[in-house]
A and B are shown apart, each in its own frame.
Chain A
Amino acid sequence: MAEAEESPGDPGTASPRPLFAGLSDITISQDIPVEGEITIPIRSRIREFDSSTLNESVHNTIMRDLKAVGKKFMHVLYPRKSNTLLRDWDLWGPLILCVTLALMLQRDPADSEKDGGPHFAEVFVIVWFGAVTITLNSKLLGGNISFFQSLCVLGYCILPLTVAMLICRLVLLAGPGPVNFMVRLFVVIVMFAWSIVASTAFLADSQPPNRRALAVYPVFLFYFVISWMILTFTPQ
């Protein structure tokens, strides 16, 4: 009896949510923990998990979170119409990606006069405030998505651009030149398109159908700015 009441948020029995009504068809077995919350703000099941996961080893906790992050990375790399990113949102992945990108993009502090590259804080601020702005815009346009779900999706879809950054850095080791630039331009363009397709696949369903273009355009601008920072990066 008590166990039944403690069960993690089984979508079929919670109060009605018009957006995720289809989730009642999906059954979640009792021993897969649900990491994120759906759009209902009231019910908080966090305390239950504290009491049941507090005694496990740190290794278990970290591996569980890392596996969840890794699963979402796979969903971004192969974007299908799925609700995983939205249903179990978490912000670990975006944080890891943002920190990696900012570390790789920052200019060398000793050469701050020569290069117009961004600081670490600048990249960080651009990513997070850009994501917040896009979320507010999509909510104001009448979207059905919650704040953190949108942040989660936008953050995870930076993964292709981070991969592009790694490739660009490797390519730059070969030395500058026009061929070098064309290769990097091609890689960045492909990854930019991938990011946009991935984020549209997740976000499109939450917008009213006739306003999808209005919601996708700022996403396009956001990833364009990040791609531009990656393409024009030159190590000193």
Chain B
Amino acid sequence: MATTAAPTGGARNGAGPEWGGFEENIQGGGSAVIDMENMDDTSGSSFEDMGELHQRLREEEVDADADTDAAAAEEEDGEFLGMKGFKGQLSRQVADQMWQAGKRQASRGFSLYANIDILRPYFDVEPAQVRSRLLESMIPIKMVNFPQKIAGELYGPLMLVFTLVAILLHGMKTSDTIIREGTLMGTAIGTCFGYWLGVSSFIYFLAYLCNAQITMLQMLALLGYGLFGHCIVLFITYNIHLHALFYLFWLLVGGLSTMRMVAVLVSRTVGPTQRLLLCGTLAALHMLFLLYLHFAYHKVVEGILDTLEGPNIPPIQRVPRDIPAMLPAARLPTTILNATAKAIAVTLQSH
């Protein structure tokens, strides 16, 4: 069974005493590098050798088992294992190296692009900080002579947007809003995230035009915290259905949070025209959004149309409905808009 291609293992017959010397070669090295001289001996000795090689390299033992099974099967056949064994081990080694290289590249690429650690500094907050920022978002500061500090974090704004989504969902459900060609959840998420991201980007663009000192992150944080007022107003008025109450809260709470944002922007902008443009746009968008959220997703029941006839009838006829007992078929969005427009007209005329 001499293998002519294996100078060192030429005299091996798979006999017992030869094992000791071979193992000595392997174990004496103590390095992870495969010694090519030992690679070409296969006849019946590959079982423990491969096992130890793989253990040293910390490769998967399945290969060793597969090889031992293959080698054990080949042992039975016997004769000329030399070249086949050599190629087998060589190809295995190459395959291992390719696997390692591929894995290294993949993990490098993954850690580069899918690294959420990029966002980690923006979530570095404590609960006490979040609480204080929420309260501060309702307090407009008078000092506009030097730039006011804006906390650049994303946890608070993100949670406020999600809270607004939840409140909107609650409001839509209790007023039986029907969305065609869409879903309630999708509409709520789209509206809230669209407002937060879209209006932030738009105001950032205007700030760039007006030469205001604000970054995109700060704008996102500012507008996000400004939604706290919206959350409060909607939470209260979706549960207590009083028209006058909504207008009071709209002006008071919405106005406070808008004034806070306006004060911060004014402190960071120079020039009266720029200040007017930037802050006017933001104030208009913020207040109108609250109005929109209230009226578009909180339908007024049919009863209010009766109040358009005479001034003696009290205008407050809204009934909270949790379960649609009997829905008339004509609940179309156009009736909502008509009712909204009429309701606004009535209240404007009556005040």
> A177-209: which residues lie under 8 A (CB-CB) from chain B?
181
Indicate if B163 sits at the interface (CB-CB under 8 A).
yes
Whole-angstrom distance between the alpha carbons of A47 and B325 in the complex? 57
Q: Are A213 and B127 in contact (CB under 8 A)?
A: yes
Indicate if B62 sits at the interface (CB-CB under 8 A).
yes
Q: Are B183 and A118 in contact (CB under 8 A)?
A: yes
> Per-residue CB proximity of B176-215 to A under 8 Å, as 1/0?
1111100111100000000000000000000000000000
Please classify the interface of chain A as helix (H, G, I), strand (E, B), loop, or mixed, using the class held by over half of its residues.
helix
Whole-angstrom distance between the alpha carbons of A116 and B321 in the complex? 13
Q: Are A218 and B64 in contact (CB under 8 A)?
A: no
> Per-residue CB proximity of B108-138 to A under 8 Å, as 1/0?
0000000010011011111100100000000
- Chain A residues with Cβ below 8 Å from B55 are 5
> Per-residue CB proximity of A96-128 to B under 8 Å, as 1/0?
000000000000000001111011001000100
Indicate if A141 sits at the interface (CB-CB under 8 A).
yes
Q: Are B51 and A2 in contact (CB under 8 A)?
A: yes
B332 nearest CB neighbor, chain A only: A113
Q: Are A118 and B184 in contact (CB under 8 A)?
A: yes
> B274-328: which residues lie under 8 A (CB-CB) from chain A?
322-325, 327
Measured between C-beta atoms, what is the minimum distance from A30 to chain B in Å?
A: 16
Indicate if B242 sits at the interface (CB-CB under 8 A).
no
Q: Are A113 and B51 in contact (CB under 8 A)?
A: no
Whole-angstrom distance between the alpha carbons of A2 and B60 in the complex? 12
Supposing A51-B62, A140-B119, A224-B166 touch, asked if A214 and B183 sit within 8 A by C-beta, the answer is no
Please classify the interface of chain B as helix (H, G, I), strand (E, B), loop, or mixed, using the class held by over half of its residues.
helix
User: Which listed residue, B64, B162, B172, touches A116 by the CB 8 Å rule?
Assistant: B172
- Chain A residues with Cβ below 8 Å from B61 are 2, 5-6, 48
Indicate if B19 sits at the interface (CB-CB under 8 A).
no
Q: Are A116 and B173 in contact (CB under 8 A)?
A: yes
Whole-angstrom distance between the alpha carbons of A21 and B122 in the complex? 30
Whole-angstrom distance between the alpha carbons of A140 and B120 in the complex? 5
Whole-angstrom distance between the alpha carbons of A153 and B205 in the complex? 42
Whole-angstrom distance between the alpha carbons of A165 and B164 in the complex? 25
Measured between C-beta atoms, what is the minimum distance from A20 to chain B in Å?
A: 21
- Chain A residues with Cβ below 8 Å from B122 are 140
Supposing A211-B126, A213-B127, A214-B127 touch, asked if A119 and B183 sit within 8 A by C-beta, the answer is yes
> A32-60: which residues lie under 8 A (CB-CB) from chain B?
44, 47-48, 51
User: Which listed residue, B68, B116, B180, B323, touches A234 by the CB 8 Å rule?
Assistant: B323
Whole-angstrom distance between the alpha carbons of A228 and B61 in the complex? 51
Q: Are B166 and A136 in contact (CB under 8 A)?
A: no
Indicate if B139 sits at the interface (CB-CB under 8 A).
no
16 interchain pairs (CB within 8 A)? A2-B65, A5-B61, A51-B62, A113-B180, A115-B324, A116-B184, A118-B183, A118-B185, A140-B116, A140-B123, A142-B120, A211-B127, A214-B126, A214-B130, A214-B155, A228-B169
Taking A118-B185, A140-B155, A225-B185 as known contacts, 9 extra A-B pairs with beta carbons closer than 8 A to each other, sorted by chain A number, are A5-B55, A51-B65, A114-B324, A136-B116, A141-B155, A142-B120, A211-B126, A225-B169, A228-B170
